Structure 1
Amino acid sequence: MSSVHDLIAKLCPSGVCFKRLGDVARIKNGKDHKSLADGEYPVYGSGGIMRYANSYAYDKPSVLIPRKGSLDNLFFVDTPFWNVDTIFYTEIDESQIRPKFFYYFLQTVGLGEMNQAGGVPSQTQSALNEIKIPVPPIQIQAEIVRILDAMTAHTAELTAELTARKKQYNYYRDKLLSFEDGEVEWKTLGDIGDVKMCKRILKNETQSEGDVPFYKIGTFGKKADAFISNEVYQAYKSKYSFPNKGDILISASGTIGRTVVYDGHPAYFQDSNIIWISNNEKIVSNKYLWHFYKIAKWFVSSGGTIDRLYNDNIRKTLIPVPYPSDPAKSLVEQARVVSILDKLDKLTSSITEGLPREIELRQKQYAYYRDLLLSFPKPPTI
């Protein structure tokens, strides 16, 4: 990066010039797209591409800036496009500023903090036009763009690799959990254990802070926002059903079938909405169950306020058990399947190692160097 700073010092000995956004680009409104027929040109809204149409509004490189919604959700587009009225496009004066440099700089501005409304976040042209944009010589802009493009491309490659690995995991999971006739018996979950849940916790037994986190369906797998006392926890844990370390907890309402492996730490779980199978690990291991739950065909009851997975339907769910007449051989085969799928899952899902972690690190590195490269000293008058 020192070469860029050396170039800035050489070409801009008096400092980089700053201009109003309105002096280097014209902000333009979008138009309704409903009368357009289907075609090849993307139609952008504040959330991204909505559809493809047979006409375009602009055909030069542009930065699209949301007028409503997620105001930081910028798009750089260098092919013909149409945009609706929830997102602005920009006509950029390329004699002054490179479109990609313009795009990268706007990422550092914090457009979401410029919300011009109290309800749905919104943005105005007049506010955007007053943003101060550094306009170094084109040579410097080109070098900064080259560096940030390379970093962005590397992250995109990792993301594509992650997508491919997820497909690979799904393929092998489905293949490994499909057995030849004679090698497997399809048992019900009720055959390998009963459905269990924690004792009901009353609202007056919970508090906003406390000793033991209490997970409801809305916080399952996330951060708890309710707690119970250690006395209630110990009493209920000793008297009523409670998961063992390693048991697979399942969401039985809302998003059906989400799983959390109970880690043994003090915690309590909402009855009926969060359940587990008290499986006999001499028949089916917890780890095998965890991978199976990802493809389980749940019998979900609908028609009420929310979809629900009832206990009887859970018990009827079928699971393939390899070599059921030979428990020792069955567990060896389950362990083989688990070993392969664990490695693939770690590569695609781990937030401490694997591709997701690498992508997170690259994104942080990109943001750091982007901000560093685009932090130009402002003249005293700005």
Structure 2
Amino acid sequence: MSRIDELIAEHCPGGVEHRPLGAVGEFIRGNGLQKKDLFDEGFPAVHYGQIHTKYGVWTEETFSFTLPTIAAKLRHASYGDLLIATTSEDDEAVAKATAWLGNTDVVLSGDAYIYRHSLDPRYVAYFFQSDRFQDQKKRHVSGTKVRRISGSSLAKILVPVPPLEVQREIVRILDTFSKMEAELEAELEARKQQYEHYRAALLSENTDGVSRALGEIFEMRAGTHVKASEISGDQLETHPYRCFGGNGVRGYVSGYNYDEDVAFIGRQGALCGNVHRAQGKVYATEHAVAVTPKSEVDMSWSFHKLTEMDLNQYKTKSAQPGLAVGRIKELVITLPEIKEQRRIVEILDKFDALVNDLSVGLPAELAARRQQYEYYRDKLLTFKELEVA
């Protein structure tokens, strides 16, 4: 019998009371803090967008600060409070939360809530990640393009409230899983940096070749417009061809442009310079440039080279930055002989699989670890409900 089973048998053998979050705490709306108020030093501050992108289950430090004069006008979170981002463009991210465990107060922006409660801080933060929380949350999320949830709605969600000893043991177990996941993420990031270093060395420092403009080596064509209504999210019999935009596969369409091994370069806005590769019958939207070799050029080498070039740096400096096909064609590279291209590909494909292939290497191990963590998180946070007489 595990330690958690022993604690449950000792402290709550008949089950655990499930109470509304509003009954074990209060939701306090953040206010006033804007992105322009954030600095590199000063009073600890968290903008709701940072909860989505920079923070995990808990934190002791902030990435940003604000002026003490600004902080004095804002609502403060204290040690143990939960910081909750209440808006997002997708439902899953609504109510993403992190527990504040710093030794000072912190201020929070609007579109966020402070949850002040009587639970173990990390226990309730893990609960906000759980399937049980997500399932209850769905019925309270509202809005069209921007999805949101209110403090009054969050207050209605039921949370299992085991004794503190049980809460802390659950936190200890889940912290162990989180630490192992963080270590794998750090190793994967180090491998990615190593991969990028070797890729640059092999592709940029190779002087044994001829200088050629990309337009001499490749056929480059901008894709064509397709209506959003014509794109399917699933591969249906009536929409069997993958549709590529600037950020990769957008869906499936009934017609196709290309029936070959092709690379796609994103050419609009923040997606400028993204490089993807596809084989078979595919469709390219106007947000992508389709690239195919004109002569004896290895397509795998081409993919690695186009990725390494960081094409985003060549986008236009306008209100809507983009990559012009003519500008890309003018870029000059050193083209090694085909034998050398294939030698480079053999090395880089191994690195690429190690850091990007979800079926092998570190990504596969990390995916398995995350799946294991999610399984035990939801299992540990599921309790028999105490029957109240």
Shift of 1:297: 5.9
Q: Tell me the equivalent position of 2:151.
A: 125
Shift of 1:291: 0.6
What is the aligned counterpart of 1:250 among 248, 265, 277? 265
Distance 2:321 2:66 in 1: 37
Distance 1:142 1:251 in 2: 47
- Computing the radius of gyration over CA atoms, which structure comes out larger, 1 or 2? 1
Query: Is the contact between residue 252 and residue 272 of structure 1 (CA under 8 Å) also seen in structure 2?
Result: yes
Distance 1:334 1:24 in 2: 64
Distance 2:214 2:289 in 1: 16
Distance 1:256 1:106 in 2: 35
Q: Residues 315 and 153 from structure 1, CA distance in 2 versus in 1: closer, same or farther, beyond 3 angstroms? A: same
Q: Residues 5 and 217 from structure 1, CA distance in 2 versus in 1: closer, same or farther, beyond 3 angstroms? A: same
1:74 pairs with 2:93: no
Shift of 1:197: 6.9
**1:262 is matched by which residue type in structure 2?**
A
Task: Encode CA deviations 1:78-113: one digit per residue, 9 max, x unaligned.
Answer: 1132112221112232xxx31111221232212641
Partner SS for 1:351: coil
Distance 1:18 1:342 in 2: 51
Task: Encode CA deviations 1:142-192: one digit per residue, 9 max, x unaligned.
Answer: 2111110000111111111122111111111112223365x3432212333
Q: Residues 99 and 177 from structure 1, CA distance in 2 versus in 1: closer, same or farther, beyond 3 angstroms? A: same
Q: Tell me the equivalent position of 1:139.
A: 165
More strand by share: 2
Q: Residues 304 and 42 from structure 1, CA distance in 2 versus in 1: closer, same or farther, beyond 3 angstroms? A: closer
Q: Tell me the equivalent position of 1:99.
A: 121
Q: Tell me the equivalent position of 1:61.
A: 80
Distance 1:36 1:202 in 2: 41
Task: Encode CA deviations 1:54-77: one digit per residue, 9 max, x unaligned.
Answer: 546234122112333342311122
Q: Tell me the equivalent position of 2:56.
A: none
Q: TM (normalized to structure 1)?
A: 0.79
What is the aligned counterpart of 1:44 among 38, 43, 46? 46
**2:251 is matched by which residue type in structure 1?**
A
**1:379 is matched by which residue type in structure 2?**
L
Q: Tell me the equivalent position of 2:18.
A: 18
Q: Tell me the equivalent position of 1:290.
A: 303
**1:67 is matched by which residue type in structure 2?**
T
Q: Tell me the equivalent position of 2:60.
A: none
Q: Tell me the equivalent position of 1:277.
A: 292
What is the aligned counterpart of 1:370 among 377, 380, 389? 377
**1:101 is matched by which residue type in structure 2?**
Y
Partner SS for 1:352: coil
Note the aligned Cα RMSD (angstroms): 3.3
**1:66 is matched by which residue type in structure 2?**
A
Task: Encode CA deviations 1:360-381: one digit per residue, 9 max, x unaligned.
Answer: 2222221111111111111345
Q: Tell me the equivalent position of 2:215.
A: 190
Partner SS for 1:261: strand
Shift of 1:318: 1.4
**2:324 is matched by which residue type in structure 1?**
L
Q: Residues 141 and 278 from structure 1, CA distance in 2 versus in 1: closer, same or farther, beyond 3 angstroms? A: same
Q: TM (normalized to structure 2)?
A: 0.77
Q: Tell me the equivalent position of 1:341.
A: 348
Distance 1:63 1:296 in 2: 43
Query: Is the contact between residue 115 and residue 123 of structure 1 (CA under 8 Å) also seen in structure 2?
Result: yes
Query: Is the contact between residue 245 and residue 287 of structure 2 (CA under 8 Å) also seen in structure 1?
Result: no
Distance 1:152 1:202 in 2: 43
Q: Tell me the equivalent position of 1:168.
A: 194
Query: Is the contact between residue 66 and residue 123 of structure 1 (CA under 8 Å) also seen in structure 2?
Result: no
